[in-house]
A and B are shown apart, each in its own frame.
Chain A
Amino acid sequence: MATREELSEFLASVERRAYKQALFAVRDESHALDIVQEAMMKIAENYGDRPAAELPLLFTRILQNAIHDFFRRSKVRSTWVTLFSALTDENEPDADPLDILGPTGDARTESSETRYEREQIVAIIEEEVAKLPARQRQAFLLRYWEDLDTAETAAVMGCSEGSVKTHCSRATSALARALKGRGITL
């Protein structure tokens, strides 16, 4: 069973990422905070007696459900329609980010950052992540930010592992393309 200290440490370690994920999804700071608080409450109330090792995946699922519930409650159907329509990306779904980024992007970022510039870049990346279609963003963040494997991501998203791979690939391509369009190469 997770002790109070373990649960506290766990929540402290994930709360900022959770807030950002909620913010990317709902694009409203107040609602994002409410969603994170709701997820924290749920995991503490319903799963506070579970082993600490189970908390990360449980919290991820609860948070994703809380985000879904927010949209359900808000009845933002049109938003979902727009986002889902973007899943069928007509622009080269199999495009390789290598081609878009170019071979020299890596070195440029590593060598020429000032703090201000870096903050600007981070802000732009966050903007572009937020602009990704919902399912692509969800797959990308779960897989690469939350460190879930493909099977866990598929379970959280309620889709097949193949779909997760497709979403991640398209998200990476779209993100690389968008960043390159704004003069940023990673």
Chain B
Amino acid sequence: MNQDEFAFRVRQALNEGAERLDYKTVLRLEQARAAALARQRRASPATVRLPALQLAPAGAPPLASGGGARWLRGLGWAAPLLALAIGFVAIGHWQKEAEIRRLAALDFAVLLDDGPLEAYADRGFGALLQAERRIEP
């Protein structure tokens, strides 16, 4: 009998011994197994990266993946800022136009008035106009 054969027979004997454990020991082993299973580590779920919420024009095609999607995401941030800037420029332009119209109306009124232009530079005439304005209502 060589070493492997001898070891095999010892192994058989050890297996027999392991199968003849007393009830109490078997019960403890089962309890230990149950406790271990209750704490089994689970594989962590794969992380899914969701695209940020963004506005899209009506009828726009779905977002493409890859470089196109990145470009569209950039546009999603830039478009509102661009619209805001355009809005400020438009409001400024409109205010300037309104001021020009107001001054033009004033100039027109002054030129059409019967009084001499020097009268508007006179402090007393200005005080008279203010007094008349207070009385009128």
Interface positions of A (Cβ within 8 A of B): 1, 4, 7-8, 11-12, 15-17, 19-20, 29, 33, 36-37, 40-41, 43-49, 97-98, 101, 105-106, 109, 118-119, 121-123, 125-126, 129, 140-141, 143-145, 168-169, 172, 175-176, 186
Contacts and interface: CB of A to CB of B under 8 A. Distances in A.
Contacts of A176: 6
Nearest to B29: A15
Interface in B1-32: 1-4, 6-11, 13-21, 25-26, 28-29, 32
Interface of B: 1-4, 6-11, 13-21, 25-26, 28-29, 32-33, 35-37, 39-44
A59 B11 CA distance: 19
Contact of A98 (B1, B20, B33, B37): B1
A33 B40 contact: no
Say what secondary structure dominates the interface of chain A. helix
B6 A97 contact: yes
B14 A4 contact: no
Contacts of B4: 144
Contacts of B14: 17, 20, 122, 125-126, 129, 141, 145
A40 B32 contact: yes
A33 B32 contact: yes
A84 B75 CA distance: 73
A51 to B, nearest CB: 11
A145 B17 CA distance: 12
Nearest to A146: B11
Given A15-B29, A33-B25, A47-B41, A172 B18 contact: no
A144 B18 contact: no
A41 B21 contact: no
A19 B29 contact: yes
A97 B40 CA distance: 44
A125 B41 contact: no
Nearest to A103: B1
Contact of B41 (A20, A45, A105): A45
Nearest to B24: A29
B41 A186 contact: no
Contact of B10 (A106, A144, A169): A144
Given A49-B41, A144-B7, A105 B1 contact: yes
Given A4-B40, A48-B41, A125-B14, A186 B29 contact: no
Contact of A33 (B28, B41, B44): B28
A37 B129 CA distance: 104
Given A20-B14, A48-B41, A125-B13, A169 B6 contact: no
Given A20-B18, A122-B17, A129-B14, A49 B29 contact: no
Given A125-B10, A186-B1, A19 B25 contact: yes
A19 B31 CA distance: 13
Contacts of A121: 13
